[in-house]
Structure 1
Amino acid sequence: MRLTKKRKMTISGGLTAFAVVLAVLSRSSCCYLAALAMGISTLGDALLAGYPECVENKLVKGALAFFAAHILYICTLLVSYGKSIPALLPRFALPFVLFLALTVLHGLLFYSRGNSGFSTGLFTAASFYLLTVGIHAAAAVTVYGQAGEGYLLSAAGAILFFLSDAVLLARKYGTVRGKYVTAVIWLTYVPAQLCLITGIFLTRSVFA
């Protein structure tokens, strides 16, 4: 089954509806923030899919929407942890360096070999965005290491998000092609969002 733009938007809208239902059931402010983050992600999905047609620079604006969503997810994660943030920094260093290295390696492997016509400025912005997703993943892994299994879904979701966006950007650079690329992106993106939303719902008692 071909994943059309309408089907993508149906899936993304369904994820937002799921997040809203969990937020209403939990009555948790952080679950509402997670629903907002998912809603902003749906806006990003719409822009990347080409909606609305009157908007220019959809790729940049879509990336900005996802950037805002990740900032919300990071803030929610740290609030849910509820302990000293500075105390996390020493343990955060190693995961951060790992995702920083993966971001640099991604650029070397895919952008340098691509032929998409991406300007240096756009590549820099795309790399900064991917690093932001990496920071989200590093923070989630760090909190999971400190707080235990309650944050496993948050860590898994952030890592899957990094993988999904890495493949998406590789396709935008013109390096990765094929009829299965879109399927790979969405088969990592949808579980990523589900893990993030559900993970916040399951740890809501921490910040209730």
Structure 2
Amino acid sequence: MRVFLIIISILQLLMIILNGIYVLRKMNKIGKEDGELNLIIKMCFSFSMIVVAFLLWRNNFEILRNYSLLILLGMFFSAIGDMIMASIIKLKNRLIGGMAFFSLAHIFYILAYLKAIAAYKESLNYLVFILIGMYIFCIILWRVFVFNSTKSLTLNIVALVYALVICTMASLAINISLTVSGAWWMTTIGALLFILSDFLIGLSEIKEKGPKNQSVWVWLTYVPAQMCIIYTLALL
């Protein structure tokens, strides 16, 4: 099982990184700034992560059984969010729809971390302080780098709510890595990369001041974020 997961993880990283390098070089050569990864490659990653999360759940009969199920559900809703953002699933407002489904994904990740903390009989002693710091950071980041008065109030508010949800998820990830020994530090790395990935989306699609080829950079941060969150279970 572990050998299989190592092979899958290497293939996932290779296909995203190589496609990312190819797109960036191509865009630089032709003088364009709107490059995107291949749609099939993006969807292959999303659905392969569902398979990985499912296998980790099926093979987990220890105290983290419920945790692994919640992580699987989180990845499932993430994949729906990916399809919405890629316009495979067409909604009236793609960005709000994407944030809605990714919010559901993060809520399942939040519940998963709470289950893990309870399973290990650990405390939430650090959580209040982490949450306060993360929420302040989140609101400042949103106001300076995401909020756009020319966009609809609904979009701006949804972006703030989504940011608070993802910061809650990250706070719990940090708390569990501080209280439980083992590979839980990977969840913190994954959560922080998730914030970076979504920050790039907000900066580009709401503030409209993102980097060149922002979609490529979003995926180059999003992929390791999900991998850190999902694959942590394989290392425990």
Pick the TM interval, shorter chain.
Answer: 0.7 to 0.9
Please say which structure displays the higher CA radius of gyration. 2
Q: Is the 8 A contact 2:74 2:105 kept in 1?
A: yes
Of residues 32, 51, 63, the one that matches 2:88 is 51
Residue identity over aligned pairs, in percent, reads 25
Shift of 1:78: 1.2
Alpha-carbon distance between aligned partners in 2 of 1:98 and 1:165, rounded to the nearest angstrom: 19
Give the match for residue 39 of structure 1. 76
Partner SS state of residue 149, structure 1: coil
Query: What's the TM-score once normalised by structure 2's chain length?
Result: 0.75
- Which stretches in structure 1 are left out of the alignment for 5+ residues? 204-208
Alpha-carbon distance between aligned partners in 2 of 1:80 and 1:43, rounded to the nearest angstrom: 25
Number of residue pairs matched? 197
Shift of 1:171: 1.0
TM superposition outliers: structure 1 runs of 4+ over 3 Å:
200-203
Alpha-carbon distance between aligned partners in 2 of 1:81 and 1:150, rounded to the nearest angstrom: 14
Q: Is the 8 A contact 1:157 1:194 kept in 2?
A: yes
Of residues 170, 189, 195, the one that matches 1:156 is 189
Give the match for residue 110 of structure 2. 74
Change (3 A) 1:30 1:146: closer
Alpha-carbon distance between aligned partners in 2 of 1:201 and 1:68, rounded to the nearest angstrom: 23
Change (3 A) 1:111 1:152: closer
Query: What's the TM-score once normalised by structure 1's chain length?
Result: 0.85
CA RMSD, aligned part only?
Answer: 2.1
Alpha-carbon distance between aligned partners in 1 of 2:66 and 2:142, rounded to the nearest angstrom: 37
Give the match for residue 228 of structure 2. 195
Q: Is the 8 A contact 1:77 1:200 kept in 2?
A: no
Of residues 99, 105, 109, the one that matches 2:134 is 99
Q: Which has the higher contact order (CA 8 A, sep 6+)?
A: 1
Alpha-carbon distance between aligned partners in 1 of 2:233 and 2:114, rounded to the nearest angstrom: 11
